[in-house]
Amino acid sequence: MPPIDLPLDTLTCYFVRHGERTDHVDDTWTATSSAPNDPPLTSQGRLQAEKTGALIYDLETSHINGLSPDTASNTDYLVLTSPFLRCAQTSEGLCSGFQQRHQKPINWKISVEPGLSEVMNESYFDKQVPDSLIHSCISSIQNGKGCTNMPYNGAYVAASSVMPAYPEGFQDMMARFVSTLDHAVSWQIGQVTKAKVLGRETRRVVLVFVTHGAGISSLLWATTLQLGSNNVDYCCLTRAHIVNRKNMLPLPTFGTSRAPAFSWSVSHQAYAKHLANL
């Protein structure tokens, strides 16, 4: 079933970088860890994530957006996280921070999206990161050992089922993130289309992408067509509203194009002022 155009504010996306990672503040952590390529958040990183979740709540309920005060309750939130532990833990913090501000039951779910993984090149890794990282992340979430405050959304079909191939070049990484964003948005539009055809209630949807610094820069390219910087702050936030689909052609094969399929209205680009006092 082909996707349909959605009005502004029917689908909103947030792009969030993970919080502070342990190995960047503890020089001994990597040498003593059984998973040196997959560091957790620091306590500061968890606090950064909670503050960013509170910011999402504020943006969601802001009258500036023309949205009602009940927007947070009348919206479904799907967090798509990179399979790295620091991103899954950031996702948990985002939900916790949102929940603390909302103080009512919330409709947040999570799914692992390997397409949002760290750039797989020599600057970060000395060899291929195995696909077992994906399965481990999914299992820990489903078993309540990771994002314990969100149920896992098994209905979401990830853009990629494997880790990016090592070594990954810059252009390949850019194409991967463009494909992942286009896929996730098209999948969600397809869900809305099916609900409308079946006469079911359709609700506003928010997709929260939790990824890495290079991923944030790539997603900014996908939504603004302007190259960003890899030096983005921990837990910085970007908000993007879908405007329309540029054409109705099928999406290119995953990772083969850096030409985004959608047009966007973007605000709060790599915004981190909410973390200034931490």
The mean per-residue pLDDT over the stretch 109-116 comes to 97
To the nearest 10°, report the CA torsion of 49, 31, 124, 88.
-30
Q: Can you give the residue ranges of every domain in the chain?
A: 11-275
> Residue 9's pLDDT band (boundaries 50, 70, 90)?
low
C-alpha to C-alpha distance for 154 and 112, rounded to whole angstroms:
9
Fold of 11-275: Rossmann fold (3.40.50)
C-alpha to C-alpha distance for 250 and 176, rounded to whole angstroms:
16
Looking at residue 1, its pLDDT comes to: 45
Looking at residue 226, its pLDDT comes to: 86
Q: Each residue of 50-75: pLDDT tens digit?
A: 999 999 999 988 755 556 666 667 78
The model carries a pTM of 0.94
> Residue 230's pLDDT band (boundaries 50, 70, 90)?
low
Considering only residues 143 and 134, tell me which one the structure prediction assigns the higher pLDDT. Answer: 134
C-alpha to C-alpha distance for 47 and 49, rounded to whole angstroms:
5
Considering only residues 168 and 195, tell me which one the structure prediction assigns the higher pLDDT. Answer: 168
Looking at residue 194, its pLDDT comes to: 82
Beta strands in 160-276 (DSSP E): 204-211, 237-245, 262-271
**% of the chain with per-residue pLDDT over 90:** 68
Mean pLDDT score across all residues of the chain:
89
Query: What number of residues does the chain have?
Result: 278
For residues 90 and 235, the answer to whether their CB atoms sit within 8 Å is yes
SS3 205: strand
CB-facing half-sphere around the CA of 72: CA atoms within 13 A: 22
Q: Which of 17, 208, 186, 207 has its CA nearest to residue 118?
A: 17
